[in-house]
Amino acid sequence: MLKSDMVEKLNEQINLEFYSSNLYLQMSAWCEEKGFEGAAEFMRKHAIEEMGHMNRLFTYVSETGALPILGVIDAPPHEFSCLSEVFEETYKHECLVTERINQLAHTAFTTQDYSTFNFLQWYVAEQHEEEKLFKGILDKIELVGNDGKALFFIDKDLADLAKSG
């Protein structure tokens, strides 16, 4: 049985995962509109992955006899100045998610909710991967620069990444 404070925090995380999914889906639309098809595909795939993160939490809350409650989800931004800004924002967002997961794990541990602490380990590992992934893309963009030709290759790279992931 989960403590009500823990349920509330897990529900907040459910909402944040929805937001992540919407953010990446919205970013995919921006990429598509600007002709970055590879980036659009990558973002769209990642939006689906975020729904997976949401679902995993939803199932856990539900299975422990508590009620998942879906709240209002903020609208994500839909205007970006360039592709590198999009990826700067994704990396910033993933760092925020990591912070939230760490806070959740801390609460679970300090309240001796070892079941939730154990459940959250998957997210701890996943956030490491997510930060690595987005930081890697960002570094690559910074390396090749922001001009058209360079971005063409970045876009191709993202298309490959979307296919392999």
With CA atoms as reference, report the closest residue to 104 among 10, 31, 1, 4: 10
CB 118 within 8 A of CB 41: no
The least CB distance from residue 116 to ligand OFO, in Å, is 17
Residue type at position 147: D
53 is in an annotated binding site: yes
Q: Which residue is nearest to ligand OFO (CB)?
A: 20
26 is in an annotated binding site: no
Tokens representing 49?
């992955």
23 vs 153, which CB is nearer to ligand OFO?
23
The least CB distance from residue 125 to ligand OFO, in Å, is 11
- Interface residue list for ligand OFO (CB under 6 A): 17, 20, 50, 53, 94, 97, 130
79 is in an annotated binding site: no
6 vs 101, which CB is nearer to ligand OFO?
101
94 vs 113, which CB is nearer to ligand OFO?
94
Tokens representing 2?
């989960």
The least CB distance from residue 145 to ligand OFO, in Å, is 26
78 is in an annotated binding site: no
30 vs 91, which CB is nearer to ligand OFO?
91
126 is in an annotated binding site: no
Q: Return d(Cα 21, Cα 80) in angstroms, integer.
A: 17
The least CB distance from residue 94 to ligand OFO, in Å, is 5
Q: b vs e for 7-46, b when ≥16 Cβ sit within 10 Å of the residue's Cβ?
A: bebbbbbbbbbbbbbbbbbbbbebbeebebebbbbbbbbb
Q: Which residue has the tokens 């409650």?
A: 69
